[in-house]
Amino acid sequence: MKIKAKKHDGTTSVARTDREIQELKQKYESMPLENEIKKFVDMPLSQKTLKGLLDSKYVVPTEIQRKSILTALKGKDVMGTAITGSGKTLAFLIPVIEHLYLNKWSRTDGVCAIVISPTRELAYQIFETLKRIGRYHDFSAGLIIGGKNLKFERSRMDQCNILICTPGRLLQHMDENPLFNATTIEMLVLDEADRCLDMGFEESINAIVEHFPTDRQTLLFSATQTNSVKDIARLNLLDPIFIGEKSKSEDIIPELLQQNYVVMELEDKITMLWSFIKNHLKQKIIVFFSSCKQVKYIFEIFCKLRPGTSLLALYGTLHQDRRIAIYNDFTRKSNVVLFATDIASRGLDFPTVNWVVQMDCPEDAVQYIHRAGRTARNKARGESLLVLTPSEEQGMIKELEDKNIHIKKIHIDPKKLFSPRLKIEAALAQNTELKASAQRAFVSYIKSIFLMKNKKVFNVFKLNLENYAKSLGLIVTPRVRFLERLLKKKGSEAEIVNESNDFVHEDSDNDDDFLKVKRVDHDLCNNLDDVTLELPKKNKILTKAAAAKKAIRKKIAPNEKMNFDDDGNVIIDNIKQLRSELPEEYENKDGGINIEIAKKVISQEDKYDKERFRQLVKQRHKLQKEKLKKHTDENLQSNSAESESEDDVDLSWLPDPDKIYDSNRKADETEMSLSGDDDSEEPSSKKAKFTSKLTLSDAESIAAQLLANTV
Ligand SMILES: Nc1ncnc2c1ncn2[C@@H]1O[C@H](COP(=O)(O)OP(=O)(O)OP(=O)(O)O)[C@@H](O)[C@H]1O
């Protein structure tokens, strides 16, 4: 009975799914108009999707969702632009889920949709949203980002129906993973499309798109526009539908975002930031800097000074797991300050951020919009503060106004500023690592300014480096070697400024490799998404193998050691001359190593080596024998001399030795027989002095000597 019920249930569920799919397809043919849609339930969406949306408290679609979901469900290509925080993620995730559902995609069918995001954090965030709204569906999804276990991803990738990836990592899998089959892909989504399509990811995206079928559906979303015509051609978009307006400022800046800027000298920025944090202890704040090293240093020093609120830091050189942990930590907390580089500027949706502070002037208006857009999301209030130096003010404000971004200048009450300078100096005096970190931050900021494109805004020679160093707690201004070298080479500041136009900043520990092409082409690097390609070649370390190869290539004969005698003639070592002919022949040949010949050479040389060793052993034995013979001859001579002297002396008056030594005779004989074969090098007379049992002849010779002395 139970089994029957199960079977019965299963059959109905399949039938119900089929029926729902049929109904949805019919609805697609007569899509409701945009203004008829008040809630998600008014859209032709599957029950499972609607349930997922409802669970996540998404009831009323935002404008971009209303427009683009309906268009995308019809299978059209979409280029969607809407202000930051307006809900673009759901605008593409819902059509993706529905496409899989309507086409009855199952786990065994392979990858159907790929969503590409320029940063790992954003990919992670999209993946989390997908998990929430797609929880009632049976598809599988995978997060493919750099810094994660490549092997694990590789083994699971072909079982995923939806992949959320960063471009570099996706390309790596496409190139190296035989399990990955791109021909099944029916949908491609680029989130932050303008960033994905700019020169940093250009080649990666081109290479990725090449693998995909051309009849796929493509959805592009961003808060800022792409170079549309060129990109449409690159991505093979087919009559794309443009959604979103581009000209008015209210279309790119959230309504409830209050935008301010303040002008101050570079050396006052730290004081301002410290005071700002102290005055906003109960708020959630993101502070943007232009380089990892600045973020790292400010985070370290402010942690030491304990401002009285939680501090976090997010930058690209952190380990991926740490990055995700910090992301989650900041999402969860409400009174917290996050110091970040621009990896946090695009797409990240941190709830209820009160303030965005841009400590370093953004590269351009687009970067300004994305940074500022981390607050005032989805019709919430938020404030942004841009900090400019006097030399940056005019150029940057003009650039923003050109994009219809109107921003209010404010002045900070000097009474509200508390300088942490003395505390910072004291902390640096005690901690050399912190001091080194400050020096790195100093240099990386100078580099960032030097490499910025817009020279009307950024001019490194207008900075007061000495005062800036002091504001970081550095008594001595660090040397900026690359500037010194360039000044020496070029002669004038103006020329240097022009030269730096083609490059932008990237962190580096080494002053020598600071010039890097803006935003590396990611297919060239293995799995990272924010690495840069170096232009000048580094001084290569010359390995022994490389030196040997060079010598062979240039036909340089290696040196040979020669020994000379006192007359200046070469000493020829006969043993060393023993060599087989094969190696000589082999050495004279050009070209690489032939393993087979090399083996033969080794075995031949081995024979000669053994022969050489045998001869050496023979020589040694011969020498030992000669030495022994010489020694025995000497002993014999001394014994015969003794016996001659015995004959000359009259010993008849002495007592009979046989009687005296009779008792010991046996032992003496034994002793003699043992020592008789002894080939030790000590003369027997000397040895007798040290033994208590003397031989007969020794005892007699001693007695004779004693007698001679007494006479
Ligand atoms: N229909 C909706 N109802 C309620 N909240 C929504 C709805 N759609 C999106 N949101 C919420 O709005 C916030 C912003 O959404 P999302 O991150 O998708 O914006 P975005 O347009 O992609 O922003 P960005 O341009 O910065 O990437 C999120 O917290 C999301 O949960």
The domain of 20 spans 1-30
20 shares a domain with 123: no
Using CA atoms, how far apart are residues 609 and 700, in angstroms rounded to an integer?
A: 56
Same structural domain for residues 385 and 460? Answer: yes
Q: How far is CA 91 from CA 64, 191, 486, 528, in A?
A: 7, 11, 50, 27
* Lookup: tokens for 284: 């959630």
User: Residue 81 falls within a domain, yes or no?
Assistant: yes
CA distance 346 to 366: 10
CB 183 within 8 A of CB 134: no
Same domain, residue pair 146 and 193: yes
For residue 351, give the DSSP letter. Answer: T
The DSSP code for 539 is P
d(C-alpha 371, C-alpha 257), whole Å? 12
The Å distance, Cα 62 to ligand 1 centre, comes to: 8
The string of pLDDT tens digits covering residues 357-380 is 999 999 999 999 999 999 999 889
Are 444 and 465 found together in one domain?
yes
Helix (H) or strand (E) holding 338: strand 336-340
Which of 467, 501, 530 is where one domain is finished?
530
Q: How far is CA 178 from CA 123, 170, 507, in A?
A: 23, 13, 35
How much is the pLDDT for 637? 73
Domain count, the chain: 3
Mean pLDDT for all residues in the chain: 80
Whose alpha carbon is nearest atom 20 of ligand 1? 85
- What CATH number is associated with residue 215? 3.40.50.300
Render pLDDT for 32-43 as a digit per residue (tens, 0 to 9).
888 888 999 999
In contact, 265 and 413? CB cutoff 8 Å: no
pLDDT for 105 beyond 60: yes
Q: What's residue 459's pLDDT?
A: 86
Same domain? For 78 and 210 the reply is yes
**From the CA of 306, how far away is ligand 1's center (Å)?**
34
Is residue 487 domain-resident?
Answer: yes
Rounded CA-CA distance 93/703 in Å is: 119
Considering the domain architecture, whether residues 335 and 466 belong to the same structural domain is answered as yes
Cα(338) to centroid(ligand 1), Å: 21
Q: How many angstroms is it from 86 CA to the middle of ligand 1?
A: 5
Q: What tokens appear for 333 in the block? A: 């907390």
Query: What atom of ligand 1 comes closest to residue 129's alpha carbon?
Result: 31
- Asked if residue 609 belongs to a domain, the reply is no
Does one domain contain both 518 and 457?
yes
Q: What is the pLDDT of residue 443?
A: 94
Using one digit for the tens of pLDDT, what is the confidence trace for 595-607? 777 788 788 878 8
Q: Extract the tokens encoding 61.
A: 């679609």
Give domain status of residue 632, yes or no: no
For residues 705-709, average pLDDT: 64
Task: Read off the tokens for 311.
Answer: 């501090």
154, 192: one domain: yes
pLDDT tens-digit profile of 653-685?
A: 666 666 666 555 554 444 333 333 333 344 444
Ligand 1 nearest atom to the CA of residue 192, by list position: 27
- Count CB neighbours of 332 within 10 A: 10
Residue 12: per-residue pLDDT: 75
Please check whether residue 161 is in contact with residue 99, taking contact to mean a CB–CB distance below 8 angstroms: no
**223 and 308 within one domain:** no
For 430-444, the pLDDT digits (tens) are 999 999 999 999 999
Ligand 1, atom 22: nearest CA belongs to which residue?
A: 88
24 and 46 belong to one structural domain? no
Contact 75, 95 (CB under 8 A): no
pLDDT confidence tier of residue 227, bands split at 50, 70 and 90: low
Name every protein residue with a CB atom under 6 angstroms from any ligand 1 atom: 58, 60-62, 65, 82, 84-90, 223, 347, 349, 373, 377-378
Task: Give the range among 21-35, 215-229, 268-282 with minimum mean pLDDT.
Answer: 215-229
Cα–Cα distance, 81 to 363 (Å, whole number): 21
CB 235 within 8 A of CB 218: yes
**pLDDT band (50, 70, 90) for residue 651:** low
Q: Which residues of 299-330 are buried (b: 16+ CB within 10 A; e: fewer)?
A: bbbbebeebebbbbbbbbebebeebbebbeeb
Q: Which of 170, 222, 188 is nearest to 528 (CA)?
A: 170
Q: Does 407 lie in the same domain as 316?
A: yes
Q: Is pLDDT above 70 for 647?
A: no
Last residue of some domain: 227, 246, 265? 246
Pocket probe mutation, ligand 1, options 349, 350, 352, 381, max atoms within 8 Å of Cβ:
349
- 638 in a domain, yes or no? no
Residue 619, in any domain of the structure: no
In this structure, is residue 554 part of a structural domain?
Answer: no
- Cα 293 to Cα 147, 328, 468: the distances in Å are 20, 22, 15
Which atom of ligand 1 is nearest the CA belonging to 374?
A: 26
> Are 176 and 221 members of one domain?
yes
Instruction: For residue 356, report the distance from its CA to the centre of ligand 1, in Å.
Output: 18
Query: CA dist 527 to 146, 150, 226, 295, 622, Å?
Result: 5, 9, 25, 23, 69
CA pair distance 419, 166, nearest whole angstrom = 42
Residue 296, both tokens: 């790292």
Ligand 1 centroid to residue 383 C-alpha, Å: 18
- In ligand 1, the atom with minimum distance to the C-alpha of 222 is 25
**CB-CB contact of 608 with 578 (8 Å):** yes
Residue 56 CA to ligand 1 center (angstroms) comes to 12
Q: 654 lies in a domain? A: no
| CB neighbour list of residue 265: distance below 8 Å, 6 or more residues apart | 389, 390, 464, 467
Where a domain ends, among 473, 506, 530? 530
Report how far ligand 1's centroid is from the alpha carbon of 87 (Å): 3
